[in-house]
Amino acid sequence: MSIVLNEREWAENAIASRQLGRSPMETLNRVARYYYQCEGYRRKEVKQKVADFLLQCDPGVILVKWEGTIDRLARTAGKYKLIELDGVDVTEEELRIIASLDGKQAQRLAFTLLCVAKYWNEAQPNDNGWVNTSDKDVMNMANIKTSVRRQSMLLHEMKKAGLIRFSKRVDSLNIQVKFIKPDSPVKIHIEDFRNIGNQYLMYCGEPFIKCDLCGLTIKKKNNRQKYCPDCAAEMYIRKSVESVMGNRGGQRRQADKTAAV
Ligand SMILES: [Zn+2]
């Protein structure tokens, strides 16, 4: 499962907008848990509600093909509590340990692994520091674009420093973070799991900004910059439309005046 801080809100949005999103299985999973845990439907009713939702999202869907999946989702809808977090806290001692690593790339990775491990600790209280997220997703969140070889080297260095441990499992549940220090004072609250690496660099004083529209932390290119590239493109289109509409309004007013004379 991908990281969503507030699964309840997420499920409510999916239901309201009738969207399966990028990962239909994850959406159905959260919607099923929402109906069971928040709306209090019984398992049999959850099955019907999930099937209805699926049909609303995709009227052409062949429900028979989904029967087994929906069955399983309804059966396990009570197993994992719907996550409702406002973020995770990073403490002074944790930051000190991260800063002792050599190089900003290694530090960014350590910071991200810590945040992800803390998320899973909150989501599943027996988790004990395991990072239940794929290496690929972790590297994306850490804003690290480098070869797989370099990535393994970074992880190996962290292991040598005693900060992480690898499990013998072959799936993605393979890193345990060993430097969670909850008893030290809180220094940073991370409430956005996109671009965690950039947020760390921003904390270190490097020139980054948070997008005014979506809150994404991005590298600052100039002093006037307010938006991330996606939002900047959207704002540009919005402004262009407004300006065209404004001009039309102006022309119409001019025409009315002429007609009145
Ligand atoms: Zn943005």
Task: Report CA(91)–ligand 1 centroid distance (Å).
Answer: 28
Cα(212) to ligand 1 centroid in Å equals 7
Task: Determine the distance separating the centroid of ligand 1 and the alpha carbon of 234, expressed in angstroms.
Answer: 9
pLDDT for residue 210 is more than 90: yes
Instruction: Kindly state the average pLDDT of the residues 9-20.
Output: 96
Helix ranges (H only) for the chain are: 7-17, 24-37, 43-57, 63-75, 92-99, 104-123, 135-141, 148-160, 196-203, 229-260
Interatomic CA distance for residues 149 and 155, integer angstroms: 10
Residues 65 and 104 in one domain: no
pLDDT of residue 132: 84
> How many angstroms does the Cα of residue 203 sit away from the middle of ligand 1?
19
Out of 34, 52, 75, a domain closes at 75
Distance from the alpha carbon of residue 240 to the mean position of ligand 1, in angstroms: 18
Note down the domain range covering 96: 88-206
Task: Give residue-wise pLDDT tens across range 84-134.
Answer: 999 999 999 999 999 999 999 999 999 999 999 999 998 887 888 999 888
Judge if 115 and 27 occupy the same domain: no
**Could you give the percent of the chain with pLDDT greater than 70?**
92
Average pLDDT rounded to a whole number, residues 138-154: 94
pTM of the model: 0.83
> How far is ligand 1, taken at its centre, from the CA of residue 209, in Å?
10
225, part of any domain: no
Average per-residue pLDDT in the chain? 91
Ligand 1 centroid to Cα of residue 228, in Å, is 4
- 249 falls in which pLDDT band (50, 70, 90)? low
pLDDT band at 140 (very low <50, low <70, confident <90, very high): very high
Does the pLDDT at position 177 exceed 70?
Answer: yes
Per-residue pLDDT tens for 65-83? Answer: 999 999 999 999 999 899 9
Q: Give the Å distance between the CA of 208 and the centre of ligand 1.
A: 13
Query: What is the whole-number distance in angstroms between the Cα of residue 204 and the centre of ligand 1?
Result: 22
Mean of pLDDT values over 24-34:
97
| Å from CA of 126 to ligand 1 middle | 35
CA distances, 181 to each of 114, 132, 202, 253 (Å) = 10, 19, 22, 66
Which pLDDT value is given to residue 250? 57
Residue 227 resides in a domain = no
Task: Please tell me the total count of domains within the chain.
Answer: 2
Three-state DSSP state, 186: strand
Confirm whether 182 is domain-assigned.
Answer: yes
Does residue 114 sit in the same domain as residue 181? yes
pLDDT band at 253 (very low <50, low <70, confident <90, very high): low
- The pLDDT of residue 150: 95
Distance from residue 53's CA to the centre of ligand 1 (Å): 29
* Contact between residue 201 and residue 192 where contact means Cβ atoms under 8 Å apart: no
Task: Specify the pLDDT at position 251.
Answer: 60
